[in-house]
Amino acid sequence: MRNQPHAEPAAETGAGRAPAPPLEDARKLARSRWLKKLYSQRHLQIMALLGVIWMIIFNYIPMYGVIIAFKEFNIIKSIGEAPWVGLEHFKEFFANDDFTSVMRNTLGISLLKLFIGFPLPIIFALFLNEIRSFRYKRTIQTISYLPHFISWVILGGILMTWLADTGVINKILLALNMIDQPITFLAEPKYFWGIVITSDIWKELGWSAIIYLAAIASISPEMYEASTIDGAGRFQKMWYITLPSIKATISILFILAVSSVLSSNFDQILVLRNPLNESTSNVIDIFVYHTGLQNGRYSYAQAVSLFKSIIAIILLLIANRVTKKLNDTSLF
């Protein structure tokens, strides 16, 4: 029997296969698909584009003005014409007599808000999640986050009325025989930190808990059902199921909270402060406001603000690294 010559494999001859398109044609095809997808999402893309334009105009272009922290700027000359002074404004701030009190007030208020105000929304969300009545749960949630929508200008006026000599707080304390005579709370520096922290918690507690409630809602009900079969109680479910399941959310919000330690809620303190409690209400944001806008020392105020921003970045990096080490959760 005569040996027939072996046929060349199809893979080698290319028989029965469409020739591969050139690289340029593949790129054109991918670009065409991308343009079609972009056009199909044109309404969403326009909305996103407007947000990007807004961010560039109001967040990135003004960053050019940061250089006035190293210049002696005034409104008569342009930023480019202002003479360079290097780090003189930073040195002046560190040598300022108010530096110690400003940093003490800023860190004191912010750290107390962090240690007291940060865990409370988590606890509130955990207990609110345990309420079985849907109507009762929604009512409490609505009442708790309603103060968030009231501006500090209005809320500050309400607090000043409540905390006045003839306000409702003094009337309650007198009726309970807790004090002998009315107290002018906002005129006493020793009460200012407590007022600021308490009012901030009251205003933001419910709103801050919404994120945690959303994270809790994503937990599988099967985990709770299995724990019920194993005989776990409500507190055990919260500790062993709910908290571990939302630890990523807690970590991210904690990182953001730590990075804003030097920000003490300017609106709130500006409304509640007065000359009588200035010794405990003069924080960095208020110092920058008075120095820059009231006294016209724009370069000095920018240097202080830049110092605060640098510290915020450092704290952000530290908090991000620590949370990544502890539970493998980070922003970047």
Which DSSP category does 20 fall into? Answer: P
Beta bridge partners of 84: 71
pLDDT of amino acid 23 = 73
- Tell which phi-psi region holds residue 150, choosing left (phi > 0), alpha (psi between -120 and 50) or beta: beta
Tens digits of residue pLDDT in 246-279 = 999 999 999 999 988 888 889 999 999 999 999 9
In whole angstroms, give the CA distance from residue 129 to residue 25.
Answer: 56
pLDDT of amino acid 158 = 93
pLDDT of amino acid 68 = 93
What is the 3-class SS of 223-253, one letter each residue? HHHHHHHCCCCHHHHHHHHHHHHCHHHHHHH
pLDDT of amino acid 93 = 94
Tens digits of residue pLDDT in 167-178 = 999 999 999 999
Instruction: Return residue ranges of the chain for CATH 1.10.3720.10.
Output: 71-327
Q: Which residues contact 12 (CB under 8 A, 6 or more apart)?
A: none
Beta bridge partners of 71: 84
C-beta of residue 210 within 8 angstroms of C-beta of residue 144: no
Q: How confident is the model at residue 8 (pLDDT cuts 50, 70, 90)?
A: very low
Q: How confident is the model at residue 19 (pLDDT cuts 50, 70, 90)?
A: low
Q: How confident is the model at residue 24 (pLDDT cuts 50, 70, 90)?
A: confident
Tens digits of residue pLDDT in 222-247 = 998 888 888 888 889 899 899 999 99
Tens digits of residue pLDDT in 131-144 = 888 899 889 999 99
Q: What does the mean pLDDT of the chain come to? A: 88
Whether the per-residue pLDDT at 75 is higher than 90: the answer is: no
Residue percentage of the chain with pLDDT more than 90: 60
The total of other beta-carbon atoms located within 10 Å of residue 183's CB is 18
Which DSSP category does 6 fall into? Answer: P
Q: Tokens standing for 75?
A: 């409104």
What is the rounded average pLDDT of the residues 102-114? 93
Counting Cβ atoms within 10 Å, is residue 121 exposed (0-12), middle (13-18) or buried (19+)? buried
The fourth-level CATH superfamily of domain 71-327 is MetI-like (1.10.3720.10)
What is the rounded average pLDDT of the residues 100-116? 93
Among 109-123, 163-177, 317-331, the range scoring the smallest mean pLDDT is 317-331
**pTM for the full predicted model:** 0.81
Q: How confident is the model at residue 106 (pLDDT cuts 50, 70, 90)?
A: very high
pLDDT of amino acid 54 = 94
C-beta of residue 184 within 8 angstroms of C-beta of residue 164: yes
Whether the per-residue pLDDT at 15 is higher than 80: the answer is: no
pLDDT of amino acid 31 = 86
In whole angstroms, give the CA distance from residue 48 to residue 45.
Answer: 5
